[in-house]
Structure 1
Amino acid sequence: MTTTTGSRPSTDTPSTPAPRARKFRIRSVGGMLGLTVVGIVFLLPFYWMFSSAFKPEGEIYRWPLQWIPSTIVFDHFARAWEAVPFAQFFVNSLIVTAAGSTLKVLLAVFSAYAFAFLRFPGKKIVFLAVLGALMVPGHVTLLINYMTIGNLGLINTYAGIFLPGLASAFGTFLLRQHFLALPKEVLEAAELDGCGHVRRLVYFVLPMSKPAVVTVALIAVIDEWNDFIWPLLVTNTLQARTLPIGLMFLKETEGVDQWGPIMAGTVLVILPMLLLFLFAQRYIVAGLAGAAVRR
């Protein structure tokens, strides 16, 4: 008895995209469209501000809107610079930002290293207190900070502006989480070679944590540069004011209907931070992504 086996005819059909793949493509296209719309919504005010700073006076108030200036003028910048002492405001902001952000980053680095690698009594309780400080609004401490700075005789001084904000709970938390994610083998090898805590921090921890440190530094610089409420309270003379307060004085000097000089002054205030952010944005993404949460 013999048996024969026949081959079943092929029923393969040309492959078609799976429904899941089609849904993924639709979602990707929808996400890109959504991001494009959101980007346009955020970019339009920036474009209008920059274009108004270089437009002739009549084109700022024209209807329908004049999106592209017919000619580029710089008169608004000259008017803004002469209306208020912008040069003094720049010097004040540069000094306060440089000193305040540098000290803030140093304190965050040292405190984060202590929380990550040192053993001391009450370590977890102190770190919980640091986390709790993240939940306290900054305006709650304005009165006690003002009384402290006043008793120290630091009203209308650079130190009086940046001293109350030196302790950065967010910077400490971010760097501590990043330090915990570093390879332990490298740090243990450095310890076996006789490296103390300072050498481990300077030659091993900081080079491996460059994105996180740059992120904390950039946030500190932007906070110091844009701070408005505290410098307004702790200074009472025009020569001690910083740029954000100077922009308010410019609005009061020129009037709310003089948008050319006001927009030019706004460009002068935000342009340094905008350029700094564009330069360091790749470090921000790496720094935030590298700060893995570990227990």
Structure 2
Amino acid sequence: MKTGKITKWLSYLFLIILSIIWMFPIVFGITTSFRSQTEVVSVGFRLLPVDWVVENYIAILENTSTAPILRWLGNSLFIAISHTILVILVISVTAYGYSRLRFKHRDAIFFTLLGISMFPGVVNLIPSYKIIETLGWVNSPLAMIIPGLSGMGNIFLVRQFMKGIPREFDESARIDGASEFVIYSKIIMPMIKPVLIVCGLFSFTGSWNDFLWPVIVFNDVQKMPITAGLLLLQDIYGNYRLIGQLMGSAFLAIIPTMLLFIFAQKYFVQSINLNAGVKG
């Protein structure tokens, strides 16, 4: 018992130290956004500002021409929300087919696609851009919304969750005359809500934080998402000229994902249990 308590407290201590290490750069960046430019360039390292100021945020919000950050945030929200909704629809339907339906070479097709998805995404950058260019989606939200809808990682996760749901539910519904669409939408979907929320969370944050792809497909300042905009801000605010405004812009960019994780964290635990949606 005593050894178990020591192990538990050592684990807590390790996690606390690890959390501090991970949080320190974020806290320092946030506090830097409340420093004046004079303090940034003249005062040595300090975790907290000598004088707290909000001029950086005022300047950020007032700049609607070269760095329209509110518009960038709106663009990112539209792209991430649209992408997430479509991802949930596509992966749930696809996972239902791979887990509940029986057709020839089902598992072989699934694992072949899963293996292909293991290739680094950077390999597909040039072909993907040529497709986007051919479709006329350069500088369009569709360039970020449509690609990646059928991510095999998400499909695999939802498929495994569905396989934990007894087939007796399907068979009982078929006996009562339910179609495959009714079984999918009325029986399976409510049961897999936790894993769909987690996949939606991953999809939202992945779309929101995507950096390389939006930098490639967007060159119109007004249509950029926030990540491409932040790269532009490095040229406008960087080189220690307006570093406080750069940190303030970065802080505004992470607020949506922080709030999303806070409100959706309970579903992570539920998604680990493959039978979480099944009521006895």
Quick one: which amino acid aligns to residue 28 of structure 2?
W
Q: Give the structure 1 partner of residue 14 of structure 2.
A: 34
Equivalences for residues 68-217 of structure 1 within 5 A: 68-81=48-61, 82=63, 84-217=67-200
Post-superposition CA distance 1:172-198 (Å, at most 9, x none): 000000001013333322222221111
228, 234, 248: which one aligns with 2:211: 228
Post-superposition CA distance 1:156-213 (Å, at most 9, x none): 1111222222221111000000001013333322222221111111111111111101
Q: Distance in 2 between matches of 1:69 and 1:203?
A: 55
- Please, what TM-score do these two structures have when normalized by structure 1? 0.86
Stretches of 4+ aligned residues off by more than 6 angstroms: none
Calculate percent identity across the aligned residue pairs: 29
Gaps of 5+ in 1: 1-20
Quick one: which amino acid aligns to residue 167 of structure 1?
S
Q: Distance in 2 between matches of 1:101 and 1:275?
A: 16
Q: Give the structure 2 partner of residue 15 of structure 1.
A: none
Asked if the contact 1:175–1:291 (Cα under 8 Å) also holds between the matched residues in 2, the reply is no
Post-superposition CA distance 1:70-109 (Å, at most 9, x none): 5442211122331501132122212211222211221101
Q: Distance in 1 between matches of 2:44 and 2:6?
A: 37
Q: Distance in 2 between matches of 1:237 and 1:214?
A: 32
**Greater Rg over alpha carbons, structure:** 1
Q: Distance in 2 between matches of 1:251 and 1:122?
A: 51
Q: Give the structure 2 partner of residue 272 of structure 1.
A: 256
After superposing the two structures, state which structure 1 stretch, 256-265 or 215-224, moved more.
Answer: 256-265
Asked if the contact 2:165–2:275 (Cα under 8 Å) also holds between the matched residues in 1, the reply is no
Asked if the contact 2:144–2:207 (Cα under 8 Å) also holds between the matched residues in 1, the reply is no
After superposing the two structures, state which structure 1 stretch, 220-229 or 255-264, moved more.
Answer: 255-264
CA RMSD across the alignment = 1.9
Q: Give the structure 2 partner of residue 249 of structure 1.
A: 232
Post-superposition CA distance 1:248-278 (Å, at most 9, x none): 1111101221321011000111111111111
Asked if the contact 1:56–1:73 (Cα under 8 Å) also holds between the matched residues in 2, the reply is yes
- Please, what TM-score do these two structures have when normalized by structure 2? 0.90
Gaps of 5+ in 2: none
Q: Distance in 1 between matches of 2:100 and 2:78?
A: 33
Q: Which secondary structure does the structure 2 equivalent of 1:263 belong to?
A: helix
Structure 1 residue 63 displacement after superposition: 5.2
